[in-house]
Structure 1
């Protein structure tokens, strides 16, 4: 008895799983398992339940390979485990990664590299969102302190060129320009 069994998870916060679940049902999945948390937790009860549910001859179908794992290595391990149990795998968005297809090796490698980049992007975005929720901004801290910005505004009001202001403050002209533009933007919003 061959069954299509769907699985999806919320990859980005707020994205939900309803659209993917509908797409899997439309593709013929008899049952769809979901994990509705995008917190990146290793604990995925929906995936565990899906893997316990499938039997030899079944096929696990996903909207995209990123649903199964957080890294390309984990993906390969998961699909190898399914194949070892006699369970097929089908990705709707990356058919080259589906088992039982006659794809040339180059297509498989291109699809795996694309998956690796997507997973890396998702991890970076999740890390940035986690940092933002803790009040941290990613990137290099600014050299323009509130005192330097005030001095730059004062010197600019005196008609001094940006290069002179930068030399006086000991920062780059670009830093001064960005700070002045940001200051002017905030002043315009206050009006």
Structure 2
């Protein structure tokens, strides 16, 4: 039996492309997660592996959907092999049932880890440049001085926090972050 697994990193991302590809590849059952590939324990992946039996094949759209670290991917491949479960990646053309497939898997697993490390290095470098330029933290706050002053004036009226947030153009959570206890 072919068992599909799909993953996206954030809740805003869509699984449709992967799920469609898995069904087209013949997967009878599909599992999914909306979580970082760096996380070791993902409920959908755990469920997919628990569901699979010896002789089944776990199918993914792309190898990096399984994980981002070399160790994690190699450990997962070893776990699947131990249980007699194959691994196939549609986009990467990998099938671990043969020697060549296992070699390609290990090469691509190393590349997935390298990509993750490169992203991390670029992010760290960009944050360092920002710090040197006097910027600390992430995005600029939407609570400008003008909005803060307007909110302080409106707090003296009978308006509710929700009404004030709407009037100054910020979310209620942003309002409470800047005016805790109101």
TM-score, normalised by the number of residues in structure 1: 0.58
CA gap of 1:139–1:56, structure 2 versus 1, over 3 A, is same
- Which residue pairs with 1:77 in the alignment? 75
Residues in 2 aligned to 1:42 and 1:15: alpha-carbon distance in whole angstroms: 20
CA gap of 1:114–1:78, structure 2 versus 1, over 3 A, is same
Residues in 2 aligned to 1:82 and 1:110: alpha-carbon distance in whole angstroms: 18
Residues in 1 aligned to 2:117 and 2:22: alpha-carbon distance in whole angstroms: 24
Is structure 2 residue 132 aligned with structure 1 residue 142? yes
Q: Specify the SS of the correspondent of 2:132.
A: coil
Residues in 2 aligned to 1:34 and 1:28: alpha-carbon distance in whole angstroms: 16
- Cα deviation digits, residues 97-147 of structure 1 (max 9, x gap): x3113528875554333222234356x39x95xx9xxxxx722223579xx
Q: Specify the SS of the correspondent of 1:34.
A: strand
Q: Specify the SS of the correspondent of 2:72.
A: helix
CA gap of 1:84–1:15, structure 2 versus 1, over 3 A, is same
In our comparison, the structure showing a higher alpha carbon Rg is 1
Residues in 2 aligned to 1:84 and 1:39: alpha-carbon distance in whole angstroms: 22
CA gap of 1:14–1:144, structure 2 versus 1, over 3 A, is closer
Q: Specify the SS of the correspondent of 1:139.
A: helix
Is structure 2 residue 106 aligned with structure 1 residue 117? no
TM-score, normalised by the number of residues in structure 2: 0.60
Residues in 1 aligned to 2:88 and 2:10: alpha-carbon distance in whole angstroms: 22
Residues in 1 aligned to 2:106 and 2:40: alpha-carbon distance in whole angstroms: 26
What does 1:19-168 correspond to in 2, within 5 Å?
19-38=17-36, 41-96=39-94, 98-103=95-100, 107=104, 110-121=107-118, 124=120, 138-140=127-129, 141-143=131-133
CA gap of 1:74–1:104, structure 2 versus 1, over 3 A, is closer
Residues in 2 aligned to 1:110 and 1:142: alpha-carbon distance in whole angstroms: 38
Q: Specify the SS of the correspondent of 1:103.
A: helix
- Which residue pairs with 1:18 in the alignment? 16
> Where does structure 2 lack aligned partners over 5 or more consecutive residues?
136-182
Deviates more, 1:73-82 or 1:11-20: 11-20
